[in-house]
Structure 1
Amino acid sequence: MIETERVRLRPFECNDAEAVYAFSADPRVTRFTGDAGRVQSLEEAREIIAKVFFQDYATYGYGRWAVVWKETGQVIGFCGLKYLPEMKKTDFGYRFIPEFWGRGIATECGRAMLGYARKHWDTGAVVALTDPRNEASHRVLLKLGFEQHGMVEYWGEQVRYYKQGTS
């Protein structure tokens, strides 16, 4: 577990399905993610936990982690790393329910997660991909020390490509 001033980051648990549904089924949240519409039910949220998050933990030793608002214990989103086999790179990403946007949480979580990853996981250079219209994520990534390296195609879309670290 990772703790910051306002949140705890921890691996997802089976009982996080309602939270995963909340941030995965909301079109405001998935507008720039490339997987809009993927989660339409609580059962599909459970499948994401089992077949994506848990599988990544088992296969790579890391993955996206739940972000828990310390004040209430509510899971408000995710932040973490994901190995992209098609790119042979480790991707940094995050997602939060809209009520927590604009509070600096992505930057706070990102600093904590990336610092933890450098100490505990052998990921090599970390990349990030964003929709070119997503200016908020562009600003967060720059604050976290990522540098933009042009555009790449991912999931059939042109996305901004960022890199942090070497290799």
Structure 2
Amino acid sequence: MIIETERLLLRPFNEQDVDALYLMNSNPAMLKYIPTAPFTDREQARELFHNVILQDYQQRGFGRWAVEHKADNRVIGFCGPKFIPEFNEVEIGYRYFPEYWGKGIGTEAAEAALSVFPQFGIKQTIALILEGNLGSETVAKRVGMYWREHSEFMGHKINVYAKIL
């Protein structure tokens, strides 16, 4: 486990989370502001786990973390750091199943994640948020991030938020 809050456990993803990863990456509502095509096969989630998530853990010592809702023992999304080569910075990213939106989960998980970033040698972080994603911008502001600039990422216009830890 990385950190625990009143309602959540943030922990590394494991092989048993492949189905949750598939659902997170195939749900159109969850992908509205994510610049990638939806998954169409569970094997894509398995590849994401092995070729991206585990690789990040091994190479950097950190990566996206599973967010488990303690009340229902279910992975409900992710929150955590990822090194973004295009910016040469570490991003905090987060995404949750729609039934958990509007309940303060995003803020709770992001605050917890940011509190442990320094343990991983992360001294500052950014959030790359596609234009129009007001929910993610609200979370970024609530955890003390400030708007830094307009930019582009993966061919999309984004707002970059930042925070020194």
Instruction: Specify the TM-score bucket, using the shorter chain as the normaliser.
Output: over 0.9
| Structure 1: distance between partners of 2:138 and 2:94 | 14
1:81-96 equivalences under 5 Å are 81-96=81-96
1:36 is displaced (CA, Å) by 3.4
Match of 1:74? 74
How many residue pairs match? The answer is 164
1:20 paired to 2:21: yes
Question: Scaled by the length of structure 1, what TM-score is found?
Answer: 0.95
State the distance in 2 between where 1:36 and 1:139 align.
25
Matched, 1:133 2:132: yes
Listed one character per residue, the Cα deviations across residues 85-139 of structure 1 (whole Å, up to 9, x for unaligned) are 1211000110111111111000000000000112x11123200110110111111
Aligned to 2:100: 100
Does structure 1 retain, via aligned residues, the 8 Å contact 2:107–2:142?
yes
What amino acid is the match of 1:94?
Answer: Y
Q: Is the 8 A contact 1:93 1:128 kept in 2?
A: yes
Distance 1:36 1:91 in 2: 21
Structure 1: state its 5+ residue gaps. none
One-letter amino acid of the counterpart of residue 115, structure 1: S
Any idea what the Cα deviations from partners look like across 1:59-102, whole Å, max 9, x if unmatched? Answer: 11100000111012111110000001121100011011111111
Corresponding residue of 2:142 = 143
CA distance in 2 between partners of 1:16 and 1:125 (Å):
28
Give the Cα separation in 2 of the matches to 1:102 and 1:48.
Answer: 27
RMSD over aligned Cα atoms = 1.0
Equivalent pair of 2:131/2:159 in contact (CA under 8 Å): yes
Which TM-score applies when normalising by structure 2?
0.96
Query: In 2, Cα distance between the equivalents of 1:66 and 1:162?
Result: 22
Contact 1:152–1:161 (CA under 8 A) maintained in structure 2: yes
1:154 matched to 2:153? The reply is yes
Q: Identify the residue that residue 122 of structure 1 maps to in structure 2.
A: 121
Instruction: Give the equivalent residue in structure 2 for 1:165.
Output: 164
Q: Distance in 2 between matches of 1:62 and 1:40?
A: 27
Q: Which letter maps to 1:26?
A: N
Structure 2's unaligned 5+ residue stretches are none
In structure 1, the residue matched to 2:50 is: 50
Q: SS in structure 2 opposite 1:158?
A: strand
Conserved 8 A contact 1:90-1:124: no
Equivalent pairs: percent with the same residue?
37
